[in-house]
Structure 1
């Protein structure tokens, strides 16, 4: 009968003293735990913060959380909509009027006055604005203003309580009103030339305004009903003749796929970190156990049970974790609150950078989960070493070499087995699990580095510029209304020193003639994407038949140089001569989907004011290179239509200049940039500069390179550390074996050569893995990157791969001989006798 001793205090003392006697081991283990904990918390902090801020940005650009609208609703309609319970929130806005000032007309800007009820303001509007100071107006003479409105009024420095006098057009009458500023806020909508004044409910009642006469109902549909809400609302709610539900396209739908891909990438990186951390911790503890295996064998001889030995090994690991995990979490917290905002700022460069916040999402769950995950990793890592230490007998401990004894093959020739490269091959795989762990660790570190490098090179500034920035400067009249870029401005720009070319794109709102070959497929395809049923589409077609003016849309005019440039870049060539003469009309392929190449026929464009018309053959084109200007809003989301400038001027002699594409001499770039920026501010048009976009993108690239390379280098360091640990263990546990081989005639030079072969095998096999599986992973990373950024171009990391492999080969070839040299200073006799 076996009685287990109960020496808890002794076990604790042994655990503590064993820790003190292995300071180097402790440093390695603590470092492994700190790195694993730090990297897991950092990656998830950056990832979650980015995803939340990205979602906020898209809400801000959308302007309002609501995606369904009904103008001038009645009380019964509102009650019916509420009873359907499709909504998260229902609010309303009343259009009060607009501010009338010569300065606004001159600068081609506007200030709209409106009232938002509590539900609309709190739940639908607030998530899309920021920097809110003060409160929503309650008194009749109070007003809340967007900062843009205050800027347009010349009151940019106004404070809460200040009086603001504005002439307001309400119900067709201009009335001078004096308001007291109750608050202000920042807007982020895509329309740059509109500001807003929010008035109180009392002001609305005083001016005899109501929801049914002047308002719009805003409905935020629940996610689970987004695809069916249009059918239910149109079926269940009785509408008046001039009413219809408008289902605004939810911009957040476009970002769902991007967010999912980002989550996948973050998860892959986190998985690599966890596995690499596990391998490092496992190897360090495994080395510690194998090094002290004689000690555990001696403990067995004095009555220590296997369970108690497991407690000693696990107790050491847990005590080390108590130091390593808090340090890793502290470093992760520092990164979260110091480096993450910098990273997010860098990632936000672009047209909508102001709308993207740089808020750190401090989530305690991340740090709690990281702590548990790191602790679990440590416990799993020490499980195998603890099992080895607890199960070994004192006799086995004395002759333990770190590998299982294998049955020798019969008739094994001594000359064949005596070759150094074959002996090295046998030694590498004598402990298969250990070899696989080293290969995995080296492979993952290198592949992570190369994957990050591929990701960053694929989204390089050069690729972005080549895809999206074809010209040095672009001036755009985004509203498409009012002649903000007149001929005098164009001539002024042309005479600026250093200007090489100025290409003009024009626009005019004209009416299309309905036809089944060209327009009908586009209308069906687009509304099908928006979730409309065949019955809805029939209703739309019926409304067009009753009111052909619904087919009014902006026709974009293209000058000769721009269309030539488009034809050079496009894979689908067009008849340039036919386009220039007005015999060919181009349509953007977005509205037609994948079958756009099958669209053929003629299209008629009419100017209803002059009765002039143009009937020409159409060609649907895919502007992948973004050479052509983007289209302007149309009531029925019609395809963007392009004709030559000369053809458009014949249809409408008053067509406006929509976009200017300006290219300059490089040495005058900065001077011209300042002049054009000032000019664009005066005209109220959008200004884009290749220099500014490149600068902003370069800043983001630098930060992302530092962050990505930092994570990758740490993982490579973990892989190298694992290899070095394994080689130290391999040589250390074989000191006696190598001494015996030396005693029977093997020279030190031959031993070093054999160990060098071992290192070479590690390097070569790792290289083979990288050249096969690794290349597939790298290409997969590029494909994911392409989904996130359509301008990404595959860049094979030849130079980083070559430098990395050279480094790996050097480490793998040099480490074994250095370890042997350090452990073979004593004589052969002393090494054979050493316990």
Structure 2
């Protein structure tokens, strides 16, 4: 028996049938848009909530680091950097305490952080980083809170900052500033360059501290690995502190499960709505499909017409729903939080 290539005819009948069901089409498209919108919104808000929790806990902790080693040797640093559970290991050196001119009670803790320590361990705990880390001996980078104690509300790169160090007033050049969220009772944070630390004769092995952070959820494995593999000198020991980011692992699983369940309920509800609309439409057009069968249309071809109509309506509704959901999550919700926050 010869077969006809009637795909184009089936396609034409399907689209002509759609033109006769404008109200049905509108309802299906609206249902697809709403379902996609809600699913996209739930997914993006859930992801943003999990990410926001990481940021909040990092800022509360003041750093990504939770393990420290005083007076690290170069060989120890290299061995730690090769650990598979490690996120980052950076050197920090305390370079003394400065005071704002005329206010001895306002202390600024000066520190030198190497690139890894500043960018990977410290920067995630602050925001609004402006300018750059100091590179010259006379440069300094301060927190915005420290600048405000000096009545500097509109800082500028290159402006002179007067600080009292070692009993004498020194002029520094402001290379940048940032907003931090830690308790400032012991003093505000300030950063100096390696050249400044070198002028004071400070070195990592003699005066420094290795600041170590684990990949999220792997602090215990990193701690066990460091204890077993790193050879320490006399008087050295790893200092372990509580890692708040470990809490996010279980919390993120809980959030993912909660929003995933809500998303499945939304998808299932949307499916039932669209299915019922299409079912009612097909039932209404039962005579039309019966006439098609009398002229030789097979059940397979009729199912193909219905699927083609559903696919065409979804192609219109899904992108619109995703776009609206994305706008709601990343534009409307943040704007509302700023307005009422």
- Counterpart position of 1:493: none
- Counterpart CA distance in 1 for 2:75 and 2:186 is 37
Displacement after TM superposition at 1:311 (Å): 2.0
Could you say if the C-alpha distance between residues 104 and 54 of structure 1 is closer, same or farther in structure 2, counting changes exceeding 3 Å? Answer: farther
Aligned 8 A contact 2:137 2:196 in 1: yes
- Counterpart position of 1:165: 162
Displacement after TM superposition at 1:310 (Å): 1.6
- Counterpart CA distance in 1 for 2:20 and 2:248 is 55
1:388-467 pair list within 5 angstroms: none
| 1:262 pairs with one of 248, 251, 255 | 255
| 1:307 pairs with one of 294, 300, 311 | 300
1:608-666 deviation line (CA, Å, top 9, x unaligned): xxxxxxxxxxxxxxxxxxxxxxxxxxxxxxxxxxxxxxxxxxxxxxxxxxxxxxxxxxx
- Counterpart position of 2:91: 92
Aligned 8 A contact 1:61 1:190 in 2: no
- Counterpart CA distance in 2 for 1:53 and 1:247 is 25
- Counterpart position of 1:319: 312
Could you say if the C-alpha distance between residues 79 and 14 of structure 1 is closer, same or farther in structure 2, counting changes exceeding 3 Å? Answer: closer
Q: Which range moved further: 142-151 or 325-334? A: 325-334
Could you say if the C-alpha distance between residues 130 and 290 of structure 1 is closer, same or farther in structure 2, counting changes exceeding 3 Å? Answer: same
- Counterpart CA distance in 2 for 1:232 and 1:288 is 64
| Residue segments in structure 2 that go unaligned for 5+ positions in a row | none
- Counterpart position of 1:247: 240
Displacement after TM superposition at 1:97 (Å): 0.6
Could you say if the C-alpha distance between residues 291 and 84 of structure 1 is closer, same or farther in structure 2, counting changes exceeding 3 Å? Answer: closer
- Counterpart position of 1:51: 50
- Counterpart CA distance in 2 for 1:98 and 1:344 is 39
Could you say if the C-alpha distance between residues 233 and 194 of structure 1 is closer, same or farther in structure 2, counting changes exceeding 3 Å? Answer: same
Displacement after TM superposition at 1:284 (Å): 0.6
- Counterpart position of 2:117: 120
Displacement after TM superposition at 1:85 (Å): 5.5
Displacement after TM superposition at 1:193 (Å): 5.8
1:344-394 deviation line (CA, Å, top 9, x unaligned): 659xxxxxxxxxxxxxxxxxxxxxxxxxxxxxxxxxxxxxxxxxxxxxxxx
Displacement after TM superposition at 1:119 (Å): 1.4
1:142 aligns with 2:139: yes
Could you say if the C-alpha distance between residues 111 and 255 of structure 1 is closer, same or farther in structure 2, counting changes exceeding 3 Å? Answer: same
- Counterpart position of 2:59: 60
Displacement after TM superposition at 1:135 (Å): 0.8
- Counterpart CA distance in 2 for 1:285 and 1:70 is 66
- Counterpart CA distance in 2 for 1:231 and 1:26 is 61
- Counterpart CA distance in 1 for 2:176 and 2:203 is 24
1:437-586 pair list within 5 angstroms: none
1:276 aligns with 2:269: yes
After superposition, the CA RMSD in angstroms is 2.4
| 2:178 pairs with one of 185, 190, 202 | 185
Q: Which range moved further: 212-221 or 289-298? A: 212-221
Displacement after TM superposition at 1:81 (Å): 3.5
1:42 aligns with 2:35: no
Displacement after TM superposition at 1:104 (Å): 4.7
Aligned 8 A contact 2:100 2:108 in 1: no
1:34-85 deviation line (CA, Å, top 9, x unaligned): 1111111111111111211221121122222121101222334434444655
1:218 aligns with 2:218: no
- Counterpart position of 1:475: none
Displacement after TM superposition at 1:306 (Å): 2.1
1:531-586 deviation line (CA, Å, top 9, x unaligned): xxxxxxxxxxxxxxxxxxxxxxxxxxxxxxxxxxxxxxxxxxxxxxxxxxxxxxxx
1:389-415 deviation line (CA, Å, top 9, x unaligned): xxxxxxxxxxxxxxxxxxxxxxxxxxx
Question: Which structure has more strand as a fraction of its residues?
Answer: 2
Displacement after TM superposition at 1:133 (Å): 1.0
Aligned 8 A contact 2:137 2:193 in 1: yes
| Residue segments in structure 1 that go unaligned for 5+ positions in a row | 347-698, 701-835
1:762-816 deviation line (CA, Å, top 9, x unaligned): xxxxxxxxxxxxxxxxxxxxxxxxxxxxxxxxxxxxxxxxxxxxxxxxxxxxxxx
- Counterpart CA distance in 1 for 2:243 and 2:290 is 68
- Counterpart CA distance in 1 for 2:239 and 2:197 is 25
1:292-344 deviation line (CA, Å, top 9, x unaligned): 11211111111112222122211221222232223222322321232231466
Aligned 8 A contact 1:69 1:217 in 2: yes
1:197 aligns with 2:186: no
- Counterpart CA distance in 1 for 2:243 and 2:160 is 38
Displacement after TM superposition at 1:256 (Å): 2.5
3-state SS, counterpart of residue 154 of structure 2 = coil
- Counterpart CA distance in 2 for 1:30 and 1:225 is 46
Could you say if the C-alpha distance between residues 84 and 51 of structure 1 is closer, same or farther in structure 2, counting changes exceeding 3 Å? Answer: closer
Could you say if the C-alpha distance between residues 271 and 138 of structure 1 is closer, same or farther in structure 2, counting changes exceeding 3 Å? Answer: same
| 1:330 pairs with one of 315, 318, 323 | 323
3-state SS, counterpart of residue 131 of structure 1 = strand
1:172-195 deviation line (CA, Å, top 9, x unaligned): xx3322111111111112446631
Aligned 8 A contact 2:80 2:226 in 1: yes
- Counterpart CA distance in 2 for 1:90 and 1:77 is 11
Aligned 8 A contact 1:147 1:195 in 2: no
Aligned 8 A contact 1:95 1:114 in 2: yes
Aligned 8 A contact 2:101 2:162 in 1: no
3-state SS, counterpart of residue 328 of structure 2 = helix
- Counterpart CA distance in 1 for 2:13 and 2:84 is 67
3-state SS, counterpart of residue 94 of structure 1 = strand
1:285 aligns with 2:285: no
> Which of structures 1 and 2 has the bigger CA Rg?
1
Could you say if the C-alpha distance between residues 85 and 216 of structure 1 is closer, same or farther in structure 2, counting changes exceeding 3 Å? Answer: same
Could you say if the C-alpha distance between residues 200 and 102 of structure 1 is closer, same or farther in structure 2, counting changes exceeding 3 Å? Answer: closer
Could you say if the C-alpha distance between residues 79 and 175 of structure 1 is closer, same or farther in structure 2, counting changes exceeding 3 Å? Answer: farther
3-state SS, counterpart of residue 220 of structure 2 = coil
- Counterpart position of 1:18: 17
Displacement after TM superposition at 1:116 (Å): 0.5
Greater RCO (CA < 8 Å, at least 6 residues apart): 2
Aligned 8 A contact 1:62 1:128 in 2: yes
Displacement after TM superposition at 1:241 (Å): 4.7
* TM-score when normalising by structure 2: 0.91
3-state SS, counterpart of residue 226 of structure 2 = helix
- Counterpart CA distance in 1 for 2:139 and 2:109 is 16
